[in-house]
Structure 1
Amino acid sequence: MIDPPVAPALCHPSTMVKTSYLVGEQADMLHRGSDTAWLRAASRDFGGFVADRVGIRQRWGVPSELFWFTSGEYYLGSLVIRHRLTDDEGGGHIGYHVVYPWQRQGHATQMLRDALLKCSALGIERALLTIAPGNAASLTVVHRNGGVADGMNDEGELRFWIDTPSVS
Structure 2
Amino acid sequence: MIELLEPPRLTVPSTALKTSYLVGEQADMRHRGSDTSWLTAASLDFDAFVAERTGVRERWGVASELFWFASGEYYVGSLVIRHELTDDEGGGHIGYHVVYPWQRQGHATRMLREALVKCAGLDIERALLTVAPENAASIAVVRRNGGVEDSLNDEGEMRFWIDTASA
1:7 paired residue number: 7
Q: How far does the alpha carbon of each residue in 1:50-106 deviate from its partner, in whole angstroms, 9 at most, with x for none?
A: 000000000000000000000001000000000000011000000000000000000
Q: Distance in 1 between matches of 2:3 and 2:112?
A: 20
Give the CA RMSD over aligned residues.
1.0
Q: Distance in 2 between matches of 1:121 and 1:162?
A: 14
- Percent identity between the aligned chains? 75
Q: Distance in 2 between matches of 1:166 and 1:142?
A: 13
Moved more, 71-80 or 3-12: 3-12
1:126 paired residue number: 126
For residue 77 of structure 2, give the secondary structure of its aligned residue in structure 1: strand
2:164 paired residue number: 164
User: Cα distance, 1:2 vs. partner?
Assistant: 2.2
1:152 paired residue number: 152
Q: Distance in 2 between matches of 1:126 and 1:79?
A: 17
CA contact (8 A) 1:120 1:166 kept: no
Residue 34 of structure 2 is aligned to residue 38 of structure 1:
no
Residue 98 of structure 2 is aligned to residue 103 of structure 1:
no
Amino acid paired to 2:41? A
TM-score under structure 1 length normalisation = 0.98
Q: Distance in 2 between matches of 1:37 and 1:166?
A: 40
Equivalent positions of 1:66-145 (< 5 A) are 66-145=66-145
User: Cα distance, 1:46 vs. partner?
Assistant: 0.4
User: Cα distance, 1:29 vs. partner?
Assistant: 0.2
TM-score under structure 2 length normalisation = 0.98
Q: Which runs of 5+ in 2 are unaligned?
A: none
Q: Distance in 2 between matches of 1:81 and 1:113?
A: 12
Q: Which runs of 5+ in 1 are unaligned?
A: none
Runs of 4+ in 1 over 4 A off after TM superposition: none
Q: Distance in 2 between matches of 1:166 and 1:32?
A: 34
CA contact (8 A) 1:79 1:94 kept: yes
Q: How many residues align?
A: 167
For residue 165 of structure 1, give the secondary structure of its aligned residue in structure 2: helix
User: Cα distance, 1:6 vs. partner?
Assistant: 1.3
